[in-house]
Structure 1
Amino acid sequence: MTRPIVGIIGNQYLINDQYPAHAGGTMTSEAISDVAGCLPLLVPADPRLVSVEELLDTCDGFLLTGGRPNVHPEEYGEAWTEAHGDHDRARDAITLPLVRACVERGQPFLGICRGFQEVNVAMGGTLYPEIRDLPGRMNHRMPPDGTLEEKFELRHLVTLTEGGVFHRLFGSTEVMTNSLHGQGIKTPGKRIVIEGHAPDGTPEAIHVEGAKGFTLSVQWHPEWDAANDPVSRPLFTAFGEAVRAFAAGVGGMRRSA
């Protein structure tokens, strides 16, 4: 049986500081294939190469990945400063209209880290350039040194809205997550519902109110150990179920054959 296709939004890199490449994390593809049960398809997020319309017609759902570059602040009406860090205008040009189109069509997406922030900006929200510089906030960035296991280790609680979609999905109002981000939501976009917060108040889990499809997005990185983690596994399983339903024409506009 043919698996439904999940477009994984890639990031631009320079290999050996010379060779330009579009790439995505192996653990992300594994989570989509092994846990969500879908076919992972890496998307070069560049409007010179792909269009939003082509992606909507090719893929059944989308994973908006994390990445070192941030959403450019001009996308939410602010001027760039050094605190905003690196950016990727090509990815912005694909992902922001893609999110809005998916919300309209009921096409599923899962936002992770930068993807979480993209969903908020796409819906009209704004971001803080650096969470750790705010009074009373934690440093949410990963440790600069150490093994991958140490970088992705569980670091803080996320408290979820009782009775909300995340509470129902995880079966608890508190979950432990990793933390590997510098930016975060400042003002939520239109229809953005914040259902999870870190101990310092930083938003960690959102969805789009009234959307016809799956729009769950998280600030942490659930792709790490997704097959075994008690929070990651139900998230990717639910996403896979939503993608299969969309591919079958249930709960949204089925993509073109």
Structure 2
Amino acid sequence: MARPVVGIIGNSYLINDQYPTHAGGTMNSDAVANVAGCLPLLIPADPRFVSVEELLETCDGFLLTGGRPNVHPAEYGEDATEAHGQFDRARDAITLPLVRACVARGQPFLGICRGFQEVNVALGGTLHPEIRDLPGRMNHRMPPDGTLEEKFALRHVVTVTEGGVFNRLFGATEVMTNTLHGQGIKCPGCRVVVDGVAPDGTPEAIYVKDAPGFTLSVQWHPEWDAANDPVSRPLFTAFGEAVRAWAAGRAVPLVQRSA
């Protein structure tokens, strides 16, 4: 029996500063294939090559990946500054309408890091350009040195709402996560529920209120060691269940599926 298809949103990169590519981390494909149990399909997130309509018909669910470029602040009514970093306007043009369409249809997606921020912006929210510059906030960025294991190591607690969606999924109100991001949610978008926060109050886990499908998104990177991590595994397992339900013609409401 064919596995349901998860479209993995790719990022634009230059190899050797001159060869343009669309790329996706192997750990994303690993988590989708071996934990969620779905077929990973890398998507060139550029409206020159794909349309949102084609993606909705081709894929059963979507993994909104992390990436170095940030959502352009024009998408939430602000001017770009040096603190906002790099941008990928082509990805913005695909992912933001894709999120809105998935929410409306009940088609499942899982947002990670930049993908988490895309969900918020797509629904009218705003972002801080640099969390570490805010009074009382931690430095959430990836350590500049060390091995991958050291960079993706668990670094802080995320506290989720007791009795909430993530609490039911993880079986705990506090979980340990990695942290590799510079930006973060300033104002939540319409229907965006902040269901988990870091010790400094930074939003870390969200979902879309009253959405007909799976809309969980996290600011950390659960794709790292997803098969073995006690937080990542149930997240990707639940995502895979939602994707299979969609492929079988059953869009399962988030609150029902997570109960």
Taking structure 1 as the reference length, what is the TM-score of the superposition? 0.98
**What is the one-letter code of the residue matched to 2:116?**
F
The number of equivalent residue pairs is 252
- What SS does structure 1 have at the residue aligned with 2:246? helix
- What SS does structure 2 have at the residue aligned with 1:234? helix
**What is the one-letter code of the residue matched to 1:198?**
A
- TM-superposed CA distance for 1:128, in Å, is 0.1
Distance in 1 between the 2:251 and 2:98 partners?
18
> Superposition pairs for residues 55-74 of structure 1, below 5 Å?
55-74=55-74
Question: Residue 118 of structure 1 corresponds to which residue in structure 2?
Answer: 118
Distance in 2 between the 1:90 and 1:11 partners?
9
- What SS does structure 1 have at the residue aligned with 2:157? strand
Question: Residue 239 of structure 1 corresponds to which residue in structure 2?
Answer: 239
> Superposition pairs for residues 43-122 of structure 1, below 5 Å?
43-122=43-122
- What SS does structure 2 have at the residue aligned with 1:118? helix
Unaligned runs of 5+ in 2: 253-259
- TM-superposed CA distance for 1:86, in Å, is 0.2
Distance in 1 between the 2:43 and 2:71 partners?
17
- TM-superposed CA distance for 1:7, in Å, is 0.1
Distance in 2 between the 1:17 and 1:152 partners?
26
Distance in 2 between the 1:7 and 1:210 partners?
24
Question: Residue 127 of structure 1 corresponds to which residue in structure 2?
Answer: 127
Identity level (%): 84
Distance in 2 between the 1:3 and 1:133 partners?
44
Distance in 1 between the 2:73 and 2:187 partners?
13
Distance in 2 between the 1:94 and 1:242 partners?
22
| 2:152 maps to 1:152 | yes
**What is the one-letter code of the residue matched to 1:244?**
R
Question: Residue 20 of structure 1 corresponds to which residue in structure 2?
Answer: 20
| 2:132 maps to 1:139 | no
Question: Residue 255 of structure 1 corresponds to which residue in structure 2?
Answer: none
**What is the one-letter code of the residue matched to 1:116?**
F
Aligned-residue CA RMSD (Å): 0.5
Question: Residue 248 of structure 1 corresponds to which residue in structure 2?
Answer: 248
- What SS does structure 2 have at the residue aligned with 1:3? coil
- TM-superposed CA distance for 1:140, in Å, is 0.0
**What is the one-letter code of the residue matched to 1:157?**
V
Question: Residue 6 of structure 1 corresponds to which residue in structure 2?
Answer: 6
Distance in 2 between the 1:123 and 1:162 partners?
25
Distance in 2 between the 1:66 and 1:133 partners?
21
**What is the one-letter code of the residue matched to 1:138?**
M
- What SS does structure 2 have at the residue aligned with 1:162? coil
- TM-superposed CA distance for 1:87, in Å, is 0.4
Question: Residue 29 of structure 2 corresponds to which residue in structure 1?
Answer: 29
**What is the one-letter code of the residue matched to 1:56?**
L
**What is the one-letter code of the residue matched to 1:76?**
Y
Deviating 4+ runs (over 4 angstroms): none
- TM-superposed CA distance for 1:251, in Å, is 1.6
- What SS does structure 1 have at the residue aligned with 2:63? strand
Distance in 1 between the 2:99 and 2:27 partners?
23
- What SS does structure 1 have at the residue aligned with 2:221? coil
**What is the one-letter code of the residue matched to 1:67?**
G
- TM-superposed CA distance for 1:84, in Å, is 0.3
Distance in 2 between the 1:142 and 1:151 partners?
6
Distance in 1 between the 2:143 and 2:30 partners?
24
